[in-house]
Structure 1
Amino acid sequence: MLATSLIIVTSVYFLMNIGLIFIWLSGKPYKIQAGGKEPLAISIIIPVRNEAANIIRLLQDLEIQSYPFDKFEVIVADDDSTDGTLTLVKDFQRQTSMRLLINQLPAKTNNTSPKKRAIDASIQLAKGELIVTTDGDCRVGKNWLAVIASFQAETGAYLVSSPVTFINDSNSFLAKLWQQIQTIEFSSLIGSGACAMLIGKPNMCNGANLAYLKSVFGEVGGFSGNENLASGDDEFLMHKVAAAYPGKVRFLKHQEAIVETQAHQSLQSFYYQRKRWSSKWRHYNNPVTTALAVFIFLSNFSIILTAVLCFLQVIPAEKAVIILFAKFSAELLFLILILSFLNKKRLIWLIPVVQLIYPFYVSFFGLIAQGKNEYIWKGRKLQ
């Protein structure tokens, strides 16, 4: 009976991944159409705290955008940096030709999310009709803004989620391997979130590459209702927009829209971020999204349970093989497709290794997220 239940759970997971594969393949990459609607003016908001090592590279990327300078502005929201970030941005501001504003936030005195506070305060200053958010440790291609603006103008989307992946630039073998493992793990989230949007059922996105109408941000109440949560500057807002305006949340499937961000350098920073992410599902008002999160946990926990029961000879080896095949086969094909789109084909060989780790990772964070949620972010303890 137990083996049958495990087979059922993983078989449903197999079918879900088959569905994701078909959805991804049916979602054709976006192609810019000549002579379309006039794109909107854009305000790029970059919340930063202690990003001295990265922020100038991002600003340099923005300085060479193919999108006209008179059509966008950049707002760097400095959240009490202590490492020289603000000085670097001010120096860059003096010599750049693009419109660069610095929003120096007052010292944080309450328990609101620092990132939500930075974005909200910057939107008040923004002159653009389309808000685009990214992070201070990101890199963008020269056509990044042009593709986002064209897609939004053509589709009339109120919120556009675009792809994110990790930078794999370490010279150390172990450090680079750690970056690559994170890249594969993260690609599964990006891919599944994209597929949900492609069928009009958005469930996740990433604030490192998000665009939305300034007017719509105000209409749905911005971050009100979850401003005290450390996470969710992206997903909670997306859920609000999707609920208020069905069909207006879209995923931009275009390789020039990809943003690359820094992978975590330490296990501790990875732990705090994933704990923060995994705790969000309890606050979703969408029962489908909550049920999906629970099912993903059960699917992965089933693999651990299968291994233990097979070792104890509670379930026969042939049934364990069926369970493992159902869990890993279609998932492998889906990850290959997503990594190929993200220009990470060279990591395909590492997918089976990550697949073996993933059930323990999901089960661990799914369980600890039920406890007291405290995180360290940029040197601060948040809840």
Structure 2
Amino acid sequence: MTTILVVISLLYALFTLTLWITWLRIPLFQPAHNPATGPFITVIIPVRNEADNIGRLLADLSRQTYVHFEVIVADDSSTDNTLAIVQAYSKTAPYALRPLPLTDERTASPKKRAISQSIALANGELIITTDGDCRVGPDWLRSFAQFYGQTNAKMITGPVTFTTEASVFDSLQTVEFSSLIGSGACTLALGQPTMCNGANLCYVKEVFWEVNGFAGVDHLASGDDEFLMHKIAARYPDGVRFLKSTQAIVTTQAHRSWRAFYNQRKRWASKWRAYESWLPSLLAVFVFLSNAAPVVAVLGWLMGVMHGNSVLFVVGLKVVPEFLFLRQVLVFLQKKSSINIIPLTQLLYPFYVVFFGLAAQGKGYQWKGRNLN
């Protein structure tokens, strides 16, 4: 058993150190300050019951330094004042703002439906998606427009982090989320796309239709971002890029309750079984085993079947490379205050991964007031 755990941990350490080095090698993109023309952009915001948040995002869009854009807010039968707020704001917005009320019909993936119907109405050459509870900086759209102009990428994934770190729970989520953003960026840079986030995602509208949109994955509630990325990457192997720019960072709210956190992470974890590419599925299993290894090692020590030095070696192979990688990603995301929480996250994360890896085997979760499979 000791040999197996050490081998798994060595492979994980090598993997994490590769991510760390790759992250350092991804160039930081700085958009130019001078006014520039560029592609017309359609920002799509699928929403449901975001009355408390949507006004702030619409105001952020009013302050964009890039002006060649429109906004479509696809309201998925909100039961609060979300639609009314958007309709009122559209009368005075300094950009074209189109509320899109969606019919209240049963669908396996409400978000994919909202995005697809919005793209059908979009005038933009580029589509950028975000969520109703997000915040964006003034150079957000400029960053994507200029990066697209330089790279001609078919899809551009962007960085996402949390708005505040008011509690330990917030900081734990920030550290955990940074690992996902960083890992997705690095595997993409290595030519093996695995994950991205629909709260900050850009792609060419014609390419969306070229790969037939969400067809083939529209029966899955989640994955409007990652499954589309895999389809585009399969068609354009060098066409998906990560935008490493502080101006492009999107912030969103950390979960206030454990139930909301549980439902979202279960939704995310449930996607891996549907991947057509072998790599994301293999990576999911590898991460599960790598996080289970120190737990098994500690249990083995408590049961007297593993030597203490071997346990320390297994644990060290995990926590040291992880700390180096996570610290660098958090610095970029301007979340230095969460660096001190990394050790606590590392203590809890193995149990978290094992728990959600098992929870994902069951079907069903609640999201936005709906029960989805």
- Paired letter, 1:124: A
Structure 1 CA distance for aligned equivalents of residues 129 and 120 of structure 2: 14
Structure 1 CA distance for aligned equivalents of residues 38 and 364 of structure 2: 41
1:137 aligns with 2:133: yes
Residues 119, 205 of structure 2: 8 Å contact kept:
yes
Between stretches 78-87 and 90-99, larger displacement belongs to 90-99
Residues 147, 243 of structure 2: 8 Å contact kept:
yes
Alignment of 1:1-383 (within 5 A): 2-32=1-31, 39-68=38-67, 71-109=68-106, 111-168=107-164, 170=166, 176-371=167-362, 373-383=363-373
* Structure 1 residue 140, shift from structure 2 partner: 0.2
* Structure 1 residue 34, shift from structure 2 partner: 8.5
Deviations 1:318-347 (A, max 9, x none): 100000000110001100000000000111
* Structure 1 residue 112, shift from structure 2 partner: 2.3
Structure 2 CA distance for aligned equivalents of residues 140 and 114 of structure 1: 24
Deviations 1:300-321 (A, max 9, x none): 0111111111111110001000
Structure 1 CA distance for aligned equivalents of residues 121 and 72 of structure 2: 8
Q: Which runs of 5+ in 2 are unaligned?
A: none
Say which SS state the counterpart of residue 233 (structure 1) adopts.
Answer: coil
Structure 1 CA distance for aligned equivalents of residues 102 and 192 of structure 2: 35
Residues 165, 171 of structure 2: 8 Å contact kept:
no
Structure 2 CA distance for aligned equivalents of residues 27 and 316 of structure 1: 40
- Paired letter, 1:381: N
Residues 157, 196 of structure 2: 8 Å contact kept:
yes
- Paired letter, 1:298: L
Residues 197, 226 of structure 2: 8 Å contact kept:
yes
Structure 1 CA distance for aligned equivalents of residues 357 and 116 of structure 2: 30
Residues 38, 153 of structure 1: 8 Å contact kept:
no
Residues 129, 201 of structure 2: 8 Å contact kept:
yes
- Paired letter, 1:128: G
* Structure 1 residue 35, shift from structure 2 partner: 9.3
* Structure 1 residue 33, shift from structure 2 partner: 5.9
* Structure 1 residue 39, shift from structure 2 partner: 2.1
Deviations 1:164-199 (A, max 9, x none): 0011164xxxxx221111010000000000001112
- Paired letter, 1:103: L
Structure 1 residues 183 and 361, CA, compared in 2 at 3 Å: closer, same or farther? same
Structure 2 CA distance for aligned equivalents of residues 156 and 201 of structure 1: 19
Structure 2 CA distance for aligned equivalents of residues 38 and 63 of structure 1: 18
* Structure 1 residue 38, shift from structure 2 partner: 5.1
Structure 2 CA distance for aligned equivalents of residues 152 and 38 of structure 1: 12
- Paired letter, 2:292: F
Structure 1 CA distance for aligned equivalents of residues 70 and 33 of structure 2: 24
Between stretches 85-94 and 205-214, larger displacement belongs to 85-94
Structure 1 residues 11 and 214, CA, compared in 2 at 3 Å: closer, same or farther? same
Between stretches 241-250 and 28-37, larger displacement belongs to 28-37
* Structure 1 residue 369, shift from structure 2 partner: 1.1
* Structure 1 residue 26, shift from structure 2 partner: 1.0
Structure 2 CA distance for aligned equivalents of residues 33 and 11 of structure 1: 43
- Paired letter, 2:169: W
Query: What's the counterpart of residue 173 of structure 1?
Result: none
Residues 47, 79 of structure 1: 8 Å contact kept:
yes
Structure 1 residues 347 and 362, CA, compared in 2 at 3 Å: closer, same or farther? same
Deviations 1:199-251 (A, max 9, x none): 22111000000000000000001001111111000000000000011100000
Structure 1 CA distance for aligned equivalents of residues 258 and 221 of structure 2: 19
Residues 232, 280 of structure 1: 8 Å contact kept:
yes
Say which SS state the counterpart of residue 52 (structure 1) adopts.
Answer: coil
Structure 2 CA distance for aligned equivalents of residues 311 and 39 of structure 1: 62
RMSD between superposed Cα atoms in Å:
1.4
Structure 2 CA distance for aligned equivalents of residues 323 and 132 of structure 1: 42
Structure 1 residues 278 and 177, CA, compared in 2 at 3 Å: closer, same or farther? same
Structure 1 CA distance for aligned equivalents of residues 142 and 32 of structure 2: 12
Residues 167, 179 of structure 1: 8 Å contact kept:
no
Residues 172, 341 of structure 2: 8 Å contact kept:
yes
TM-score by length of 2: 0.98
Residues 36, 154 of structure 1: 8 Å contact kept:
no
* Structure 1 residue 96, shift from structure 2 partner: 1.5
